[in-house]
């Protein structure tokens, strides 16, 4: 059993356990931290798959950016010591039922689907050069257009977030 | 410009003219002027048509014009008329003309009223001149939609709910109809080639029988709802009871005829095999309509309800006759449409006038009106006599043609239902005379009625136009019947050659 | 590609993660927890993108790029969502999803 | 040469239109005079026609059927067409004379009788309308034309009965008359339809051809075990029975007396009510050759009606009602006579007798009614117990009334004797039971007529509001003319004019029948004389003796009540009301229900749009899963 395999199962276990903890924890700050673990473990998986760039993005953006954002918002809206009530029974049943049925169905499908055993194409390593050429390329396999779109989306999201989150202006306040 | 297109242009111009008026007086003057022109155009059309036929033109449709207005789906604005459409147009022009004068004193939002009324009439004219199914359907909707406003805004009693009921039921009919029309369209080229909405072209090919079986009921019931086919007639009593005078006139007089006209022009003409196969179901339904409507009318207290049920009975006879599918009976059915159109319009006009004076439509609250408003009463009696089929008035000609025609059918079933339907002439007499007896004869019940004003000039104009038309058909029915028979030949021929029974 | 680990195992992990996210979304009341559930879902989808790329189409980097885009979109989504949550908090003084039901009927 | 005959109906039509449209603007009397003059012209033309037809250009053999005028009115199909035309044959020419004569007399009479009434113009307009319709009916060339005018006489009768439209009883009577006859006409119509289905023609010329070629189709056709021709002809007779008020469709006629008396004389005694008889006579060939069973039915219906009506007539007090029942009885005679008739020569005696009686009856019954009108005019009452001793005040009326009574009682040599005698002979030859009935009715007739006569003109002098005085000349001249006609019309040679095969045949007095029938008439008169000449208690005692029977008879055997029960209770309450209810609460409720259910459902399911984000999410994911199951695994 190689190290890689052990690592994979370790990361998988972390992902699954902390995912569960994320949605079951009654203390929200802890939930956020569990989420962080999940995301880091995912990044670990990416490392195992030799997608270092992807893993780095995962770590910086997700684990670094988003989780921090979430923690900020938690701090803005909650007391640290706040504990949630138990969720509704009906909702719990609904959620668990959907999750169980859905995962059963999907896993059954995955297990019965005949994935190809051997892939005979030449591998394209996810080096920074390749990524850079393709992400900003305009020829075949070039992704500059989605890249630009995403940038516009991010801009729009930023503007929207500011507008939504800032306090109503004076005129509205009077009303 | 094609004379048929003129029939649409004149009302549209009238509507535009009304937009420039300021008050009731202007609006009604413009409407009256426009509809007089329309009447003249319609009369010209009748004479031109008769002239063409006399000159030996044997085309199925004349005055054909054709503009493509939606090329990719092959939708055309195609106009053309045969004798049946011509007489229906003449009927419409007369009823609309009378309707304008019957609503001479609508004060509330009168401009809008006249605009809606004439818009409705435009739809009806458009329907009759179209031979493209899509355009026909379009005009049908143009005719039905203003009805909602006319009843909902200018009606009386529970007007909103009546308007809603009427419009929803008719829209339900439209929905069925649309299925039917598209069914025809998509089967209009069974051997390949472009699909078409043109009735004449479709009539030349045979729609596959399976498609006919499926789409015939949709189309027939779709039109049947408008033609007050039992059990889809219940919009009629409520709708008529709430509608203002002119709207009742137009609706019962003309709009319900779209149902009968469409039922045979579209449903039966284009899908003859299915018509033969399924006729018996509808014959049973229509004979129920005929008798049931008449019995229903006996018990009513409200003048408009009586008339609405009577319309159910008479319109049932129209569909009944058409379903008999022989020349004479169909001829009778069409004469019945015209006759019923005229006399029911007259009835509703009179009811409106009487209501305007007595402020009640309950027959038990009135009585002895013959003494106080003799002109209205005499015309009411004439309308009643026409309705119960007195010779010399139009109802007789229509009913007799229907019964004689239907009874010539080889099948015993058809003859027996004819007898059942014919029994309505007795029941009709009962309810008409009951109303006449209670309403017009006897002593004057309410002292307030002693000083009612008799008919004014515009009311007289409205009534006498209709009375003259009714008596004209009743006394000299030959030209009308011949015109219709002439145009029925190709239809009956097509129906006969596909009769597999 | 990890020798000895078949694609199915990855997929099963991501599936379970996905449905845990779904369950969290449906069960939890707090909007921020819901947001975190969404992050879980997105993350599991990301794994799928990468896995398919790596195992089935290693000659290209499509899955890789899409995973990157998803991360970008997730960031945008999170920022807008948090802005909304803060706004809701100002209005309602709490962030229970059950109270956000103005758009009903 | 008979082209002018078209004017006979057209003149009244024109007068109707002119008076109806413009009459209100004139002085009333102008309408009256116009109508009378017009009818006078029509009368002269009719008499001219009759004289030329029967006596001009004398010919051997059968009278021809002449159609001087015919115009297409409406086309049903190639073979079925309605034509409007004039058909002259012996019965139609005879009827022309009858109708115009009576109508003319009534026109003159009404000038006096209706003088000063409100609606004088209307009255004359309706009279003209009626005359036009009746003439159109008489000269019809085809059965459909007959039906058309049949309906028109129905409606003019309706209008005239309801002339006093503010009187509820008159309105009710007119309604009843119209609806009952309408019901009968429904049968007539079906009969016509069956005939047209079999023969593909409406023309009398083809229908009444004795060779019966057009009925070839009918052979072997039957419905419910009865041959289709019998059905057709019975149904046609139903129409005739309605107009001629045969039992059980007779109920409208007594009530129809609510109309002005001249109208009763014209329509409900002399002309319209014989239309049924005329119809049967017109189609006699068809009846005789194609549907002898139907003819049998006619005979029995006629016989029963005559007896039934005569019995009721004995007990009535309203003089017009007595006359109405008498009319019923006499119409029964005519129907019976047709029913027992054969075809051709001596065999066709019943046919001839029926037409003969129709003619004489028209004269004397019109006379009776007009005289009754004169009496009512003088006394202002319809009831005979409010009359008595009037012979002093109304000499002309008295004499003419007496003549009419003697005529109807069959006293020789007045006209009634001849015609009734022929009928009795025909019945005697054919059916002894019916003969017995008729013989009895002859006695009853004499009795109730003289009961009437003695009650009115003899007996105690009543106290009148003002002294009765003889009517003006406009009223008495028609009386005298009709009395004259009643006396002498019996000598007309009907056996060589109006016969079943249009051929002359010889008749002679059958003393074996004539003598007893005269005797029973005289016995009836004698009884009446005994009972009613002087005021006496005997009639009341007799009435008491008969008890229930008398009450039942007085109430016309409760036929009216039965009808009322059927119409009011059954049709109104048990058919119409449920239908109206059904329509409101089932059919309409179903249609409204579709709307209501839609609304209810949407009200219920709008809860699903709860605003709860997590519910939506659940639905969404569950939906995706279900779709996945369905689409991927075809569950």
Chain D residues inside the 8 Å CB shell of A91: 614
Q: Which residue has the higher pLDDT, A46 or D429?
A: A46
CB contact under 8 A, A98 and D628: no
φ and ψ of B128, to 5 deg = -70, -30
Q: Which residues neighbour B1 within 8 Å (Cβ) at sequence distance 6 or greater? A: B9
Chains B and D touch (3+ CB pairs under 8 A): yes
ipTM of the modeled complex: 0.75
Among chain A residues, the shortest Cα distance to C93 is held by: A77
Q: Which residue ranges of chain B lie beneath pLDDT 50?
A: none
CB contact under 8 A, C100 and D614: no
> Is the pLDDT assigned to residue D416 strictly greater than 70?
yes
User: Smallest Cβ distance to D614: which of A91, A105, A109?
Assistant: A91
User: Smallest Cβ distance to A19: which of C11, C40, C73?
Assistant: C40
Query: Is D579 an 8 Å CB contact of chain B?
Result: yes
Query: Is B437 an 8 Å CB contact of chain D?
Result: yes
Dist CA D37 CA B486 (whole Å): 45
Structure confidence at residue A173 (pLDDT): 45
Q: Are residues A110 and A80 in the same domain?
A: yes
CB contact under 8 A, C22 and D621: yes
Most confident range (mean pLDDT) of A72-76, B195-199, B435-439, D618-622 is D618-622
Cβ atoms D538, D531 nearer than 8 A: yes
Q: Are residues A39 and A18 in the same domain?
A: yes
CB contact under 8 A, C82 and A69: yes
Query: Is A10 an 8 Å CB contact of chain C?
Result: no
Q: Which of the four pLDDT bands, split at 50, 70 and 90, describes residue C13?
A: very high
Structure confidence at residue D57 (pLDDT): 65
C41 Cα to chain A: minimum distance (Å):
10
Tell me the mean pLDDT in the region A86-108: 87
> Is residue A45 in some structural domain?
yes
Chains C and A touch (3+ CB pairs under 8 A): yes
Instruction: Provide the mean pLDDT of chain D.
Output: 82
The number of angstroms, rounded, from the C-alpha of B295 to the middle of its chain's C-alpha atoms is: 22
CB contact under 8 A, D617 and C22: yes
User: Smallest Cβ distance to D580: which of B168, B169, B296?
Assistant: B296
Cβ atoms A56, A39 nearer than 8 A: no
> Is the pLDDT assigned to residue A162 strictly greater than 60?
yes
Tell me the mean pLDDT in the region D570-593: 79
CA angle D494, D499, D502 (to 5 degrees): 115
CA-closest candidate to residue D158, choices D170, D181, D174, D169: D174
What total number of domains does chain A contain?
Answer: 2
CB contact under 8 A, A102 and C29: no
Q: Which residue has the higher pLDDT, B271 or D223?
A: B271
Residue-wise DSSP of chain A? --HHHHHHHHHHHHHHHHHHHHHH-SBHHHHHHHHHHHHHHHHHHHHHTT-HHHHHHIIIIIIIIIHHHHHHHHHHH--TT-BPPPPPHHHHHHHHHHHHHHHHHHHHHHHHS---S---SPP----HHHHHHHHT--STT--HHHHHHHHHHHHHHHHHHHHHHSPP-HHHHH-
Tell me the mean pLDDT in the region A75-87: 74
Q: Which of the four pLDDT bands, split at 50, 70 and 90, describes residue A175?
A: very low
Contacts of D among chains (3+ CB pairs under 8 A)? A, B, C
* CATH of residue A103: 1.20.120.1200
Most confident range (mean pLDDT) of A13-22, B56-65, D229-238, D532-541 is A13-22
Chain D residues inside the 8 Å CB shell of C100: 611, 613
Chains B and C touch (3+ CB pairs under 8 A): no
Chain C residues inside the 8 Å CB shell of D621: 22, 26
Structure confidence at residue A170 (pLDDT): 47
Query: Is C25 an 8 Å CB contact of chain D?
Result: yes
What residue numbers bound the domain in which A95 lies? 3-124
Q: Are residues A118 and A147 in the same domain?
A: no
pLDDT in tens, D2-36: 788 888 888 888 888 888 888 777 777 888 888 88
Chain D residues inside the 8 Å CB shell of B396: 148, 151
Tell me the mean pLDDT in the region D417-429: 82
Structure confidence at residue D389 (pLDDT): 74
Dist CA B226 CA B255 (whole Å): 8
Query: Is A114 an 8 Å CB contact of chain C?
Result: no
D81 by Cβ neighbours in 10 Å (0-12 / 13-18 / 19+) ranks as middle
Tell me the mean pLDDT in the region A7-31: 89
Contact map slice: A 132-171 vs C, CB within 8 A: 134-135, 141, 143, 146, 150, 153-154, 156-158, 160-165, 167
Chain B residues inside the 8 Å CB shell of D152: 390-392
CB contact under 8 A, D628 and A105: yes
Dist CA B34 CA D243 (whole Å): 50
Dist CA B46 CA B43 (whole Å): 5
Among chain D residues, the shortest Cα distance to A93 is held by: D618
Query: Is A4 an 8 Å CB contact of chain C?
Result: yes
Q: Are residues A57 and A137 in the same domain?
A: no
Q: Are residues A19 and A100 in the same domain?
A: yes
User: Smallest Cβ distance to C71: which of A61, A88, A165?
Assistant: A61
User: Smallest Cβ distance to C79: which of A85, A110, A158?
Assistant: A158
Chain B residues inside the 8 Å CB shell of D194: 407
Tell me the mean pLDDT in the region A129-150: 86
CB contact under 8 A, B390 and D575: no
Contact map slice: C 40-99 vs D, CB within 8 A: 97-98
Contact map slice: B 302-361 vs D, CB within 8 A: 309, 327-328, 331
Query: Is B390 an 8 Å CB contact of chain D?
Result: yes
pLDDT in tens, D493-537: 777 777 777 777 777 777 777 788 888 888 888 877 777 766 666
Q: Are residues A52 and A95 in the same domain?
A: yes
CATH classification of C7-95, choosing from 3.40.50.10420, 1.10.3210.10, 1.10.287.3510, 3.30.1360.120?
1.10.287.3510
Structure confidence at residue D535 (pLDDT): 65
Q: Are residues A88 and A56 in the same domain?
A: yes
Structure confidence at residue A174 (pLDDT): 41
CB contact under 8 A, D621 and A91: no
Query: Is A101 an 8 Å CB contact of chain D?
Result: yes
Most confident range (mean pLDDT) of C16-20, D237-241, D440-444 is C16-20
User: Smallest Cβ distance to A28: which of C32, C73, C77?
Assistant: C32
Strand partners, B65: B79
Q: Say whether B72 sits in a helix, a strand or coil.
A: coil
User: Smallest Cβ distance to D621: which of A91, A102, A109?
Assistant: A102
CA-closest candidate to residue B256, choices B343, B178, B329, B361: B343
Cβ atoms D245, D312 nearer than 8 A: no
C101 Cα to chain D: minimum distance (Å):
4
Dist CA A150 CA D367 (whole Å): 114
Q: Are residues A98 and A132 in the same domain?
A: no
Contacts of A among chains (3+ CB pairs under 8 A)? C, D
Chain D residues inside the 8 Å CB shell of C25: 614, 617
Q: Which residues neighbour B251 within 8 Å (Cβ) at sequence distance 6 or greater? A: B147, B239, B240, B243
Cα dihedral: B264, B269, B273, B279 (round 10)? 10
The number of angstroms, rounded, from the C-alpha of D91 to the middle of its chain's C-alpha atoms is: 17
pLDDT in tens, D94-152: 888 888 888 888 888 888 888 777 888 888 888 888 888 888 888 888 888 888 888 88
Q: Are residues A72 and A118 in the same domain?
A: yes
Q: What token pair was written down for D381?
A: 């009452």
Q: Say whether D81 sits in a helix, a strand or coil.
A: strand
């Amino acid at each position: 059993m190689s190290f890689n395999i052990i690592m994979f199962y370790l990361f998988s276990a972390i992902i699954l356990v902390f995912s569960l903890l994320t949605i079951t924890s009654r203390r929200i700050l802890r939930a956020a931290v569990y989420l962080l673990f999940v995301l880091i473990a995912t990044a670990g998986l990416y490392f195992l798959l030799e997608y270092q760039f992807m893993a780095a993005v995962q770590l910086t953006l997700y684990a670094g950016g988003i989780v921090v954002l979430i923690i900020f918002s938690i701090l803005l809206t909650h007391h640290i010591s706040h504990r949630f009530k138990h969720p509704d029974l009906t909702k719990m049943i609904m959620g668990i039922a959907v999750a169980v049925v859905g995962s059963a169905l999907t896993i059954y499908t995955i297990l019965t689907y005949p994935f190809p055993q051997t892939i005979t194409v030449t591998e394209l390593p996810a080096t920074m050069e390749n990524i850079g050429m393709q992400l900003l390329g305009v020829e075949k396999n070039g992704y500059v257009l989605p890249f630009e779109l995403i940038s516009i989306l991010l801009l729009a999201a930023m503007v929207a977030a500011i507008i939504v989150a800032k306090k109503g202006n004076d005129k509205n306040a009077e009303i | 410009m094609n004379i048929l297109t003129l029939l649409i242009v004149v009302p549209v111009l009238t509507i535009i003219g009304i937009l420039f008026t300021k008050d009731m007086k202007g609006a009604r003057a413009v409407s009256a002027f426009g509809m007089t022109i329309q009447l003249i155009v319609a009369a010209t059309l009748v004479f031109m048509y008769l002239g063409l036929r006399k000159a030996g033109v044997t085309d199925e449709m004349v005055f054909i014009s054709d503009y493509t207005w939606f090329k990719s789906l092959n939708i055309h604005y195609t106009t053309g008329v045969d004798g049946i459409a011509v007489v229906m147009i003449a009927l419409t022009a007369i009823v609309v003309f009378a309707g304008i004068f019957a609503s001479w004193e609508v004060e509330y939002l009168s401009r809008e009223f006249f605009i809606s009324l004439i818009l409705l009439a435009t739809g009806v004219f458009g329907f009759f001149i179209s031979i493209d199914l899509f355009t026909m359907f379009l005009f049908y909707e143009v005719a039905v939609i203003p009805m909602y406003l006319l009843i909902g805004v200018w009606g009386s009693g529970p007007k909103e709910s009546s308007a809603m009921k009427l419009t929803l039921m008719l829209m339900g009919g439209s929905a069925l109809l649309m299925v039917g029309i598209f069914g025809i369209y998509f089967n209009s080229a069974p051997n390949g080639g472009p699909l078409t909405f043109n009735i004449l072209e479709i009539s030349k090919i045979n729609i596959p029988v399976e498609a006919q079986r499926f789409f015939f009921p949709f189309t027939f019931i779709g039109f049947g709802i408008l033609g007050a086919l039992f059990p889809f007639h219940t919009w009629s009593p409520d709708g008529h009871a709430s509608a203002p005078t002119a709207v009742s006139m137009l609706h019962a007089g003309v709009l319900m005829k779209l149902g009968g006209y469409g039922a045979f022009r579209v449903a039966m003409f284009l899908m003859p095999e299915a018509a033969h196969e399924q006729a018996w179901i509808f014959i049973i339904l229509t004979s129920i309509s005929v008798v049931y409507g008449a019995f229903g009318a006996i018990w009513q207290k409200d003048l408009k309800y009586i008339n609405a049920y009577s319309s159910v009975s008479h319109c049932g006879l129209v569909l009944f006759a058409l379903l008999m599918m022989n020349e004479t009976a169909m001829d009778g059915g069409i004469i019945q449409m015209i006759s019923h159109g005229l006399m029911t319009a007259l009835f509703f006009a009179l009811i409106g006038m009487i209501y305007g004076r007595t402020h009640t439509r309950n027959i038990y609250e009135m009585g002895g009106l013959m003494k106080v408003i003799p002109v209205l009463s005499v015309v009411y009696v004439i309308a009643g006599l026409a309705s119960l089929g007195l010779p010399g008035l139009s109802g007789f000609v229509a009913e007799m043609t229907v019964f004689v025609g239907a009874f010539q059918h080889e099948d015993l079933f058809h003859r027996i239902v004819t007898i059942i339907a014919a029994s309505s002439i007795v029941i009709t007499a009962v309810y008409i005379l009951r109303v006449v007896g209670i309403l017009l004869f006897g002593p004057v019940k309410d002292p307030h009625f002693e000083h009612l004003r008799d008919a004014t000039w515009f009311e007289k104009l409205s009534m006498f136009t209709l009375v003259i038309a009714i008596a004209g058909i009743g006394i000299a029915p030959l030209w009308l019947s011949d015109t219709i028979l002439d145009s029925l030949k190709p239809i009956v021929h097509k129906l006969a050659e596909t009769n597999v029974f | 590609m990890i020798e000895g680990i078949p694609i199915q195992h990855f997929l099963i992990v991501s599936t379970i993660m996905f449905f845990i996210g779904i369950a969290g979304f449906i069960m939890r009341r707090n909007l921020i927890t819901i947001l975190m559930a969404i992050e879980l879902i997105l993350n599991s989808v990301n794994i799928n993108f990468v896995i398919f790329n790596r195992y089935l189409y290693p000659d290209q980097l499509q899955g890789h790029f899409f995973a990157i885009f998803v991360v970008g979109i997730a960031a945008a989504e999170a920022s807008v969502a948090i802005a909304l949550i803060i706004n809701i908090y100002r209005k309602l003084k709490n962030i229970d999803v059950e109270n956000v039901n103005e758009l009903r009927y | 040469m008979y082209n002018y005959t078209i004017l006979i109906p057209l003149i009244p039509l024109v007068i109707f239109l002119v008076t109806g449209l413009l009459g209100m603007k004139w002085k009333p009397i102008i309408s009256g005079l116009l109508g009378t003059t017009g009818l006078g012209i029509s009368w002269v033309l009719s008499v001219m026609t009759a004289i030329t037809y029967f006596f001009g250009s004398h010919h051997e053999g059968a009278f021809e059927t002449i159609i001087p005028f015919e115009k297409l009115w409406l086309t049903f199909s190639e073979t079925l067409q309605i034509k409007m035309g004039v058909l002259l044959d012996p019965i139609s020419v005879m009827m022309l004379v009858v109708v115009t004569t009576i109508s003319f007399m009534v026109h003159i009479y009404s000038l006096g009788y209706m003088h000063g009434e409100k609606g004088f113009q209307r009255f004359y307009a309706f009279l003209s309308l009626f005359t036009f319709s009746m003439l159109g009916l008489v000269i019809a060339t085809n059965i459909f034309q007959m039906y058309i005018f049949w309906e028109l006489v129905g409606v003019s009768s309706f209008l005239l009965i309801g002339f006093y439209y503010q009187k509820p009883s008159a309105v009710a009577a007119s309604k009843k008359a119209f609806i009952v006859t309408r019901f009968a006409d429904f049968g007539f119509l079906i009969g016509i339809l069956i005939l047209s289905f079999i023969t593909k023609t409406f023309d009398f010329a083809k229908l009444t051809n004795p060779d019966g070629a057009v009925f070839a189709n009918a052979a072997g056709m039957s419905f419910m075990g009865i041959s289709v021709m019998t059905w057709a002809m019975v149904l046609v007779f139903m129409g005739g029975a309605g107009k001629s008020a045969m039992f059980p469709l007779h109920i409208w006629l007594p009530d129809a007396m609510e109309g002005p008396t001249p109208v009763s004389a014209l329509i409900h005694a002399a002309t319209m009510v014989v239309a049924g008889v005329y119809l049967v006579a017109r189609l006699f060939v068809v009846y005789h050759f194609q549907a002898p069973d139907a003819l049998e039915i006619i005979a029995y219906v006629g016989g029963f009606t005559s007896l039934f009506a005569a019995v009721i007539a004995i007990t009535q007090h309203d003089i017009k009602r007595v006359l109405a029942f008498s009319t019923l009885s006499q119409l029964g005679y005519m129907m019976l006579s047709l029913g027992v008739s054969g075809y051709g020569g001596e065999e066709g005696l019943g046919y001839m007798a029926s037409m003969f009686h129709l003619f004489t009856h028209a004269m004397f019954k019109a006379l009776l009614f007009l005289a009754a009108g004169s009496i009512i005019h003088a006394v202002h009452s319809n009831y005979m117990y409010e009359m008595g001793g009037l012979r002093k005040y109304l000499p002309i009326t008295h004499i003419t009334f007496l003549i009419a009574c003697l005529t109807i009682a069959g006293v020789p040599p007045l006209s009634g004797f001849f015609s009734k005698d022929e009928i009795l002979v025909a019945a005697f030859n054919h059916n002894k039971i019916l003969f017995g009935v008729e013989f009895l009715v002859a006695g009853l007739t004499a009795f109730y007529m003289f009961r009437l006569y003695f009650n009115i003109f003899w007996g105690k002098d009543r106290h009148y509001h003002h002294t009765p005085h003889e009517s003006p000349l406009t009223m008495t001249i028609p009386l005298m003319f009709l009395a004259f006609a009643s006396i002498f019309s019996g000598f007309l040679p009907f056996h060589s004019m109006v016969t079943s095969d249009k051929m002359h045949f010889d008749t002679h007095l059958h003393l074996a029948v004539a003598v007893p029938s005269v005797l029973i008439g005289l016995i009836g008169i004698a009884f009446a004389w005994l009972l009613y000449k002087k005021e006496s208690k005997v009639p009341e005692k007799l009435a008491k003796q008969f008890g229930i029977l008398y009450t039942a008879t007085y109430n016309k055997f409760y036929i009216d009540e039965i009808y009322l029960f059927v119409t009011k209770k059954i049709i109104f309450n048990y058919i119409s009301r449920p239908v109206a209810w059904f329509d409101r609460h089932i059919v309409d409720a179903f249609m409204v229900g579709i709307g209501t259910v839609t609304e209810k459902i949407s009200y219920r399911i709008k809860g699903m749009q709860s605003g709860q984000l997590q519910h939506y999410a659940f639905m969404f994911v569950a939906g995706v899963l279900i779709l996945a199951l369905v689409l991927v695994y075809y569950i």
